[in-house]
Chain A
Amino acid sequence: MSTDTPVIDEICRLLGPHNPKGIALSAETDIPAELNIDSVGVLDFIMDVEDTFDIEIPMNVVAETHTIGDLVKVVEDRIKKRNA
């Protein structure tokens, strides 16, 4: 992905297929609860996030990640760690 694209925009783009009702997305959006994605759907979405940013987000971390803002922080931290 282009490094110019803010992480939150890319995450919202990846959530597109999981958001058929077109709910407005923000950092506060609770991904499983508000988008009504089941547990397996969340894990599939996280795999797309991992591949897009070329980072590792273990399942243990996913369990503690609820909102888009939470996920943005995880992604940014892991990009920094990868580049360190």
Chain B
Amino acid sequence: MTDLFEKHRPIAERFERMMEMGVNAVGVVNDRILSPTRAIIQGRETILAGTNNYMGVTFEKACIDAGKKALEEFGTGTTGSRIANGSYAMHRELEQSLAAFLNRKHCIVFTTGYQANLGMIAGLAGPRDTVFLDADSHSSIYDGCTLSGAKLVRFRHNDASDLDRRLSRSEDEGGGRLVVLEGIYSMLGDRAPLKDFVELRKKHQFQLLVDEAHSFGVLGPNGRGLADEAGLEDEADFVVGTFSKSIGSIGGFGAGDHPLFETLRYAMRPYMFTASSSPATIATSIAAVKTLAREPERRDRLRRNSERLFNGFRTLGLETGCEEVSPVIAVKCKDEPSTIAMWNRLLQGGVYVNIALPPGTPNRLCLLRCSVSAAHSDAEIDQVIAAFGKVVAKA
């Protein structure tokens, strides 16, 4: 009999090679979290520059107070799905406040951001439909596509002319067509050229879903994401987002204006067959949405901090993942061993960033990925730049 684990042996061997270097870059333990930008790791105070805490709301008093109150008044968990156990009033309140923030008629919340993409894509597309997805899409998009049973067509990253060719080439089998884009791509930090993709609607018929996971709260005059920034919200039929980044909790959402949108609640397995978010999580999310709406200056701070880090890296001569300033700033490295070694030296120097290696990266790149927070001080950003400077000098 074949050992079921045999297929995972290459993963185990790769992990062992990393451990032989004295590093577990994918198993960091935060002993204490001191603030949105600082933690104690391996007994050392460390700047967090890889936690996607874009708005820095994780220690916001209003959010913590709301979470405590909900915990005391509604208990620790919901113990089931909203279909089976029913919703709490605050689930609805969060959906309404998000719909208002997004200026959409409908919003459905999910227990995780991963499930939001799974649910929305598999709820919208079925076996007779075709989903066109960007090659650099997040795994949750790929998995949602697989769950849908739809025909899946992958187009070259951020290349509207390539999507044009594939839409033209695609056989019309009578089903619907869904194009899936991301506001900010999580590995390189680049934005989808939304205007170019929307232009294709003059030539091809399709519905458009934009995953604003990394751009919600971050981009646009109203903080709604890339479509808001581009002035093309009317062209995005569906928006997906997560609470685990700008909202600082856990969960996700799907939103849209379609008159049948609410029927998705009864067609999305990742919504129907999982426990709903805990009261404390929902309450902190509601408070965070209010904070984002009340304090647009956080977006300005994030943009300034992102520019400071981007320019600092450029001054050091580092090659970044994209040419535009973004809260996701990835530094391209030579190969896997040197990336692991550099990551470790950064951590020893008191700076935590993400390590990103193939096949989880575009074009087999090895990356040290930073994410900037509105809560970072200028001094913290400068410390991150200085730490990279030292590491690069030794590389």
Chain A contact residues, CB within 8 Å of chain B: 38-41, 43-44, 47, 50-51, 54-56, 58-60, 81
Question: In the complex the two chains form, is A58's CB within 8 Å of B152's CB?
Answer: yes
Check A56/B171 contact, CB under 8 A, given A43-B154, A44-B135: yes
Q: Which residue of A lies closest to B10 (CB)?
A: A36
Provide the bound-state CA to CA distance between A78 and B135, in Å: 22
Question: In the complex the two chains form, is A56's CB within 8 Å of B166's CB?
Answer: yes
Q: Which residue of A lies closest to B362 (CB)?
A: A40
Question: In the complex the two chains form, is B156's CB within 8 Å of A40's CB?
Answer: no
Check A47/B169 contact, CB under 8 A, given A38-B358, A41-B359, A41-B364: no
Chain B contact residues, CB within 8 Å of chain A: 130, 135, 145, 151-154, 156, 165-166, 169-171, 358-359, 364
In the A-B complex, the 3 residue pairs with the smallest Cβ-Cβ separation, listed nearest first, are A59-B152, A38-B359, A40-B359
Main secondary structure of the interface of B (DSSP, over half): mixed
Contacts of B358 in A (CB 8 A): 38, 40
Contacts of B364 in A (CB 8 A): 40-41
In the complex, how many angstroms separate the beta carbon of A60 from the nearest chain B beta carbon? Answer: 6
Question: In the complex the two chains form, is A47's CB within 8 Å of B156's CB?
Answer: yes
In the complex, how many angstroms separate the beta carbon of A42 from the nearest chain B beta carbon? Answer: 10
Provide the bound-state CA to CA distance between A58 and B127, in Å: 13
Provide the bound-state CA to CA distance between A81 and B173, in Å: 13
Question: In the complex the two chains form, is A47's CB within 8 Å of B359's CB?
Answer: no
Contacts of B171 in A (CB 8 A): 56, 81
Contacts of A43 in B (CB 8 A): 135, 154
Contacts of A54 in B (CB 8 A): 169
